Amino acid sequence: MAARWVRGSSRSAGTDAGAQERPAPVRRRAVGVGAAALGGALALTAAAVTPAAAHSGGHPGAGHGRPAAVRYVALGDSYTSGPAIPTQVDANCARSDENYPSLVDRAGRFARFTDVSCGGATTAQMWQAQGTNGPQLDAVTQDTTLVTLQIGGNDIGFSSIIATCAGLSVTAPTGSPCKQHYRAVGIDQLTVDVVKTAPKIAQVLHEVHHRAPHARVVVVGYPDLLPDDGVGCFPAVPFAAGDFPYLRDTEKQLNAMLKIEALFGGAEYVDTYRPTVGHDMCKAPADRWIEPLVPASPAAPAHPNAKGEQVMAQAVTAKVGGRRG
């Protein structure tokens, strides 16, 4: 989610030479083209889905005394991979060994750890190779017992949103030119894009459960990028004053959708937004965990720095902790 995420490859994980074709959609959803609010649209889609009871039959080892060894697979985009954070272990995917999956693995001392997250990934890269990185879902196998998934930001086009809103900010720095741009046709296009991404997330979760029927699946939300109070910091972060709350609300819509899809897709959800409030890209270098468009600490623009990855790791570890292998 910056101006084109850097891509990359897998540290472990056996991947097929021939990538599987993406399966037909798990379920169809109608995307409203009126001015319906995201909450209503998602409520309608969620109401049509039966909770994935088949996938909620307990975590590996539950109720059997000693837990089974945890075999952990991390799927995701650049917020997972940690571009520019030392030490980079995969140039193709801009993957750091200090990203949150690596930190979660160290905290849990899991039996096996496979990180196939890749900068620039969308839900399509779950089934399609990305440079030297094979389809991410190829890392998920029958013996996988824990999967974390952080995806969807690139599906709604975070990089193009950032570029568009930064470019428009100079035309009306005290107004909301970005918001006006995305509502030019009478509906909010970013809200529509979030709703359209929902069935893609559902499809990924369905496939994860199919490949690893006994795995605990955790969907990880995105951290707080902009001031939660909506007060901007132009020109340090070049968005118009009225676009700061608009873009903040767009990210909250994305996270709300991910939480709903986790609920109805037999998964759990980890909120990384609330733990990072007050440490957004407008804060001073010593206080921020998300770097602005011109980073002062090693990180990609508009991405978590090392501290941000640590805080996300703490949130995930608090959810999955205690299942060591």
Active centre residues (catalytic): 78, 303
Residue 231 CB partners (closer than 8 Å, separation 6+): 244
User: Quick one: tokens of 104?
Assistant: 């979660």
Strands 88-90 and 95-96: antiparallel
Q: Do residues 222 and 149 touch, judged by C-beta distance below 8 A?
A: no
For residue 17, the SS3 value is coil
DSSP labels, 73-124: EEEESHHHH-TTPSSEEETTTTEETTSHHHHHHHHHT-SEEEE---TT--GG
Gap between the Cα atoms of 295 and 108, Å rounded: 31
Among residues 140, 169, 67, the alpha carbon closest in space to that of 108 is found at 67
Gap between the Cα atoms of 183 and 165, Å rounded: 13
Gap between the Cα atoms of 59 and 69, Å rounded: 11
Q: Do residues 212 and 141 touch, judged by C-beta distance below 8 A?
A: yes
Gap between the Cα atoms of 189 and 22, Å rounded: 26
Gap between the Cα atoms of 60 and 67, Å rounded: 7
Report the run of H or E that residue 270 belongs to, with start and end.
Answer: strand 268-270
